[in-house]
Structure 1
Amino acid sequence: MSDDKAVTIPAQTTGEPSGGAATLTKDAAPGEVLLKVTGLKKHFPIKKGLLQRQVGAVHAVDGIDFEVRSGETLGVVGESGCGKSTMGRLITRLLEPTDGKVEFEGRDITHLGVGAMRPLRRDVQMIFQDPYSSLNPRHTIGTIIGAPFKLQGVMPEGGIKKEVQRLLSVVGLNPEHYNRYPHEFSGGQRQRIGIARALALNPKLVVADEPVSALDVSIQAQVVNLLDDLQQELGLTYVIIAHDLSVVRHVSDRIAVMYLGKIVELADRELLYKSPMHPYTKALMSAVPIPDPRRKNAKSERILLKGDVPSPISPPSGCRFHTRCWKATEICKTTEPKLVELRPGQQVACHHPENFADQAPQDTVLLTAAKEAAELVADEVLAESAQTSAAVAAEVAEAETEAETPEAAETPESPEADAPEAEVSEEEPPAKEK
């Protein structure tokens, strides 16, 4: 969470801020927990045959836990097919969860019916990814934006038409275009119409499912700036789902990284980008292009991942990333790591995290898949990973030694207490072998 820090949204979402950027200030302090998700799952059944018997299931979301506080922005990133959009539809109750719990303002809304959810629709809204298919082409934008008032039986002061025209001006559109149809607008303008519809009833939580991915790069910054500006004016809480790490970096307070239906890392924005702990997060960060002409001929340190994302129908055992990870050992294959807070404000699910002491120093033998994956990772990256992990392990060992009482320090067991940590520095070099 950033306090009173100016956020500059570039005209392009692929790196450093550019000249014509607009500057906004993110100064909303975190409030009470607005949304709490516990063990959330969604399995889509696979049926075959004349009798439509279930023969399997797609594990789209497979047990995730997180909280969203009032006034903050949680970014959710990951590859296509990792379950981001399904998660967004689950927390807005557009889909029925298979298991788990969704609590909004302390109230369990996991299995509320259509009638019971209707009053809550005023507080939880969604901005959809495709601005072309999310608007009814047969209705005018006045009818589209005014629909929430009629569905909820709300009569705004001055009438629906006046309120819709006010919303159009809030999102940067001409109020006189009240009677136009969606096909008369560009993609960016249609997304603004979708935003106006979502804000009609002053919601407390807005889930934005890739709000700028379908837009031209020159329009993306405008829409992102609009969302950020509206958050400050109206005190909104956002869950922004995206695959563009640059966009998420500029608008989020905390970021959750998803892989194959699981959250593998959840951290404050600055911590995540400065020192990512999960190998998958580090690979994602390395893929962000840096628009610097001086780096044109420089050797790329991008981490190439081995193969494709495994099928969500039969996800791998243990850590789901072990089939593509260059640090995977036997424990990664057999034991699923839990999402634990290794550093204040940073949770990670990994047995061999980056930029931190190894959580399983006794397991040093790399899997065959890890050796193959290491061939796709630059030597500089592997060397840096080994040095950082060794340095952090030494720091942790030194802190533990200092924390011991003088009597404990004099006992012969003290040197042995540091032995597991010392193994960390010897555990990393095998990853360099090719």
Structure 2
Amino acid sequence: MSETETRAAVPAPRADADEKPLLRVEGLVKHFPIKKGLLQRQVGAVKAVDGIDFEVRRGETLGVVGESGCGKSTMGRLITRLLEPSGGKVEFDGTDITHLKTAGMRPLRRDIQMIFQDPYGSLNPRHTIGTIVSAPFKLQGVEPEGGVKKEVQRLLELVGLSPEHYNRYPHEFSGGQRQRIGIARALALKPRMVVADEPVSALDVSIQAQVVNLMDDLQDELGLTYVIIAHDLSVVRHVSDRIAVMYLGKIVELADRDSLYAAPMHPYTKALLSAVPIPDPSRRGAKSERILLKGDVPSPISPPSGCRFHTRCWKATQVCKTTEPPLAELRPGQRVACHHPENFEDQQPQDVVLLTAAKEAGELVPDTVKKAETPQEPEAPEVPEAPEVPETPEVPETPEVPAEPEAPEVPEQPGVPEEPEAPKKPEAPEKPGKD
């Protein structure tokens, strides 16, 4: 009997087993040491993943989003045991795989596969496509029905490539085609869980929908469980059942898809969703309500104390700086790590004094967003105004008595003409004096 038929003959798990999560992660930690000097002494550590807890149910798709450098890819390599955890616990189907060695992990490699982020670095340039995709069969000693070559050609056709590409090399393909080859290799052994690190980021927009629909069809057909790490929030919304939002090595919010997109409760989640562009030409002139975060993500070598988002949050108070909020379930199925969550009652109502960084960050937040998120204090009941006293009707003024008409001026009498002056007599000439 072929290996495929053997696996198909395995009875389905019982209903009580289905209730247990397929993957359980508790307090997962990964610190990369920083060494300096001739003796290579450790002087610090990069806290890529610093204590996260989550579960992945059977047959569901968990999306993981966050900024670059928040630890998403490191988390994916930890749960597939490609990296050794520094602390915490990873259980797969009830088996503790946290510190299993290579020999112990070999049987589980059939059930846990990974699609890598870099399509150029994940394929050996010296091997043909047929050798790369058939490697899982040889490593696990599996002989598929019809032979390895026929199965590899079927997988290539399944992901949208031609079976004739069997003898070609990776350098003959584009980045999107290489990603398809990586997907075919990950699905070769029909695993139970696939961790996909940016599975469609290298693909053209016209091809992304085809690959996403392909993964959905394979999930229904093979009963796969996905952990999809992505930057594109639109893709995550389309493919995920639940979504985990990471920030600086921590999960700040974990909720089902509809609740997260309809009413995000963590300020960082709200800022992420505000950055999603809306392809609507009619909104071209509309005022944007995008939240611009202040500064860059702090260094994972020395993360901030308390809530790690308080250096960029517009709602941060003193308790956010000193006390780390736990990832608590504030609503059914929605867990949030925040002292002052959105769309929910304040967890620290007594602390209302904003930090200086919060005041600076608040200048970048639209007023409409701040009004919607500011908890409204109960308004004092309005005192009814006293009824207005009707004004006293004005007494009509007494009509003025018309003044007596002035007497007409008497015209002046024409004056008597003055008499002409008598002509003056000429003066007598002076008589000459005697000598």
TM-score of the aligned structures, taking structure 1 as reference length: 0.82
Which of 178, 181, 189 aligns to 1:190? It is: 178
Query: What residue is the counterpart of 1:177 in the other structure?
Result: 165
Quick one: which amino acid aligns to residue 133 of structure 1? G
* SS at structure 2 position matched to 1:75: strand
Q: Write out aligned runs for 1:304-343 (5 A).
A: 304-343=292-331
| Distance in 2 separating the partners of 1:155 and 1:126 | 21
Quick one: which amino acid aligns to residue 232 of structure 1? D
Which of 214, 228, 245 aligns to 1:257? It is: 245
Contact 2:62–2:244, Cα closer than 8 Å, also in 1? yes
| Distance in 1 separating the partners of 2:202 and 2:34 | 30
Indicate yes or no: 2:32 matched with 1:37: no
Contact 1:31–1:71, Cα closer than 8 Å, also in 2? no
What is the CA deviation profile of residues 75-111 of structure 1, one whole-angstrom value per residue up to 9, with x for unaligned ones?
0000000000000000000000000000000100000
Indicate yes or no: 2:131 matched with 1:143: yes
Query: What residue is the counterpart of 1:297 in the other structure?
Result: 285
Query: What residue is the counterpart of 2:101 in the other structure?
Result: 113
Q: Which has the larger radius of gyration?
A: 2
Q: Tell me which moved more, 155-164 or 266-275.
A: 155-164
Shift of 1:127: 0.2
Query: What residue is the counterpart of 1:74 in the other structure?
Result: 62
Indicate yes or no: 2:263 matched with 1:267: no
Stretches of structure 2 that go unaligned for 5 or more consecutive residues are: 1-17, 381-435
Query: What residue is the counterpart of 1:207 in the other structure?
Result: 195
| Distance in 1 separating the partners of 2:344 and 2:245 | 18
What is the CA deviation profile of residues 218-261 of structure 1, one whole-angstrom value per residue up to 9, with x for unaligned ones?
22222222212211121110000011111100000000000000
Contact 1:188–1:223, Cα closer than 8 Å, also in 2? no
| Distance in 1 separating the partners of 2:162 and 2:330 | 50
Q: Write out aligned runs for 1:236-255 (5 A).
A: 236-255=224-243
Indicate yes or no: 2:213 matched with 1:218: no
* SS at structure 2 position matched to 1:168: helix
Query: What residue is the counterpart of 1:157 in the other structure?
Result: 145
Shift of 1:114: 0.6
| Distance in 2 separating the partners of 1:118 and 1:66 | 24
Quick one: which amino acid aligns to residue 56 of structure 2? V
Which of 269, 274, 277 aligns to 1:281? It is: 269
| Distance in 2 separating the partners of 1:188 and 1:50 | 44
What is the CA deviation profile of residues 321-356 of structure 1, one whole-angstrom value per residue up to 9, with x for unaligned ones?
000000000000000000010001100000000000
Stretches of structure 1 that go unaligned for 5 or more consecutive residues are: 1-29, 391-421, 427-434
* SS at structure 1 position matched to 2:63: strand
Shift of 1:171: 1.6
Contact 1:255–1:269, Cα closer than 8 Å, also in 2? yes
Contact 2:179–2:202, Cα closer than 8 Å, also in 1? no
| Distance in 2 separating the partners of 1:137 and 1:104 | 33
Query: What residue is the counterpart of 1:52 in the other structure?
Result: 40
Shift of 1:141: 0.8
Shift of 1:177: 2.0
Contact 2:62–2:226, Cα closer than 8 Å, also in 1? yes
TM-score of the aligned structures, taking structure 2 as reference length: 0.82
Shift of 1:31: 5.5
* SS at structure 1 position matched to 2:22: strand
Query: What residue is the counterpart of 1:360 in the other structure?
Result: 348
Quick one: which amino acid aligns to residue 272 of structure 2? L
| Distance in 2 separating the partners of 1:85 and 1:153 | 29
Contact 2:33–2:42, Cα closer than 8 Å, also in 1? yes
Quick one: which amino acid aligns to residue 289 of structure 1? P
Quick one: which amino acid aligns to residue 276 of structure 2? V
Which of 87, 90, 101 aligns to 2:75? It is: 87
| Distance in 1 separating the partners of 2:103 and 2:120 | 29
Indicate yes or no: 2:107 matched with 1:122: no
Q: CA RMSD in A?
A: 1.4
| Distance in 1 separating the partners of 2:216 and 2:358 | 41
Contact 1:326–1:370, Cα closer than 8 Å, also in 2? yes
* SS at structure 2 position matched to 1:258: strand
Q: Tell me which moved more, 213-222 or 147-156.
A: 213-222
Query: What residue is the counterpart of 2:156 in the other structure?
Result: 168
| Distance in 2 separating the partners of 1:39 and 1:80 | 22
User: Which structure exhibits the higher relative contact order, with contacts defined as CA atoms closer than 8 Å and separated by 6 or more residues?
Assistant: 1
Q: Write out aligned runs for 1:349-388 (5 A).
A: 349-386=337-374
| Distance in 2 separating the partners of 1:174 and 1:230 | 19
What is the CA deviation profile of residues 341-391 of structure 1, one whole-angstrom value per residue up to 9, with x for unaligned ones?
0001100000000000000001111111110100000001000112xx44x
Query: What residue is the counterpart of 2:84 in the other structure?
Result: 96
* SS at structure 2 position matched to 1:33: coil
